[in-house]
A and B are shown apart, each in its own frame.
Chain A
């Protein structure tokens, strides 16, 4: 971790607050001692790093340290409102860190610092917040990022659904890396780093109202390291995007339009877990539109695709990486799937939300 800390000596940090109540009340958002107790004892304690420990209104970084790592700063933001808060394979906290880290990493940036703003519904259990904060800290540690500043608000019962989290993040992009959705060219290969749809299927079954039981878990994971490995092995990589809401199908459509190219994918090559297929068959959903939280779509030049695949497969988050299709010059702006049957169909942009079918 770079030494971006302002080296002027600061006065000894004030004593940390302590939270001894079971539930959060409006007072904890009021700006007074109660809020200090909440912030200190739940968030600062969990995130525990020198930048945060100054407890200033802002985190400060030496520009020289940043420009030593690259020539551009990347910044992103995302809000997390998932329901349920906890699900197999993760929780809203882990999502909030990994999602923002990945949004930086797919742009070729090394993720460095995150902010964390929370809006909490009064009445939520403090223990729930602690679990979420701990989870965020673990994810941040794995992703090698620090959560350096934040904000806390508490709203009336019913004004938000338990907790909403926003994380913004910054990272530095090394010189020479220039990924973009418009870079795809005919002949390029489309890669993914593993099975598709696990997160979306997990959330569906975890909501409980569909009463489905299956051994599936969210694939939520921080992919900064995976992406660095990929870029080292395939420096000509055109574009990377994480396939979150709207799934792989949506990302492919975005690329096809931005690059004014056609994309062709082979249904037989799309890797999907049996249980996810089962959920989709029961509900009449298409796994290509299900959300992923640990999967990327990569467009790589054909002559670097073998190296790219090897690099992905050598990494714990890419063991099942594979090629699912190619960029073409036909049907520009559209994504076409070669069906398992040998026919072809369009894979369109998702309209609204994918709803389970009865027919």
Chain B
């Protein structure tokens, strides 16, 4: 597959491991403690586990799995809201696949579907709009979640609905923004991170500039990374090179897809349809200012929160749940008291075990191999 296979070449992977080792040798700090690099984005977490990248790295480099998994950070109260919407008579509730298994306080969307709610999995919000077109007597709600990567698609779908005068369609908006999250991570006193892998597809929309504060104020390097394994290894090497050279800059490893200034049309659609919420709740992380968006008044008729009644309750995680600490990178999945015991993919307590890029699910599914150093001719 073009633009994919070339970035999975094992020979180049070995060369990149060599380069990583070269950079590690130049960094004084590595002699006393491992360096901690956070990959923010769930897609990177998935790639790291899927290709066994962590075991290929030298012990001096540790990857910390960040909270960039929109399914993982969905608060239980919002899941309950989804279930309430889905169980409203006359509603067809449409959602991305991986959101269906997240447990609410009573049930997940998957369980609500088994109980008879009309819940349909879609690949694209446009497919949800198509369902609205062909079911004029029903109300179709689309469960919109995701960072800035997915905001344009939801925004453009609403604009399309407006253009066609479709009125039986609305969005339950759970989009979150990456920058306040990263700000919260950087300013957290518990976290000692040396660098970041920046979310490649979020950056495709927002560009490089929004991350500058990380380099300027917090003096940490951030490399915007693609998702193929060579991209991830290359970006790790670039972060290490910056550290070795005493630099803290925003670099773009994913330049074949990420334009410096992001995507103008996408940004325009987002600002037309959405505005920042004052604060938004993140599962495990609590409330973060300006970290969510809602639909502007001009498009209120597409806002499921205004069209329908939702319980809108704040539900605390189960007491045993340590998702918050894992999301912040303070705890590794296998160190959580309930990992693999009460909390498994079959009986998930928290969202990190449910979503396939949650660090816990990824670790449970792919991980626990003994770390084997990869030589030049592995």
Contact = CB atoms under 8 A, between A and B. Distances in A.
A357 B99 CA distance: 9
Contacts of B78: none
B367 A342 contact: no
A345 B52 contact: yes
A189 B129 CA distance: 50
Contact of A355 (B43, B50, B101, B364): B101
Given A344-B372, A346-B365, A359-B46, A209 B120 contact: yes
Interface string B85-124: 0000000000011101100000000100000000011111
B344 to A, nearest CB: 8
A256 to B, nearest CB: 15
A84 interface: no
Contacts of A209: 120-123, 127
Nearest to A274: B1
| Chain B interface bracket (under 10, 10 to 19, 20 to 34, 35 or more) | 35 or more
A50 interface: no
Contact of B8 (A210, A274, A340): A340
B124 to A, nearest CB: 8
A64 interface: no
A294 to B, nearest CB: 25
A68 interface: no
Interface string B61-85: 0000000011100000000000000
Interface in A118-143: none
A353 to B, nearest CB: 9
Contacts of A346: 365-369
A283 B96 CA distance: 10
Interface residues of A, number: 28
Q: Which of B13, B52, B229 has the most CB of A within 10 A?
A: B52
A340 B53 CA distance: 11
Contact of A345 (B14, B50, B69): B50
B53 A341 contact: yes
Interface of A: 209-211, 274, 277-278, 281-284, 331, 336, 339-346, 348, 351-352, 355-359
12 contacts: A210-B123, A340-B10, A343-B51, A343-B55, A343-B56, A346-B369, A351-B344, A351-B346, A352-B101, A355-B356, A358-B150, A359-B355
Given A356-B96, A359-B355, 9 more contacts: A209-B127, A282-B123, A342-B14, A346-B365, A352-B345, A358-B96, A358-B150, A359-B356, A359-B357
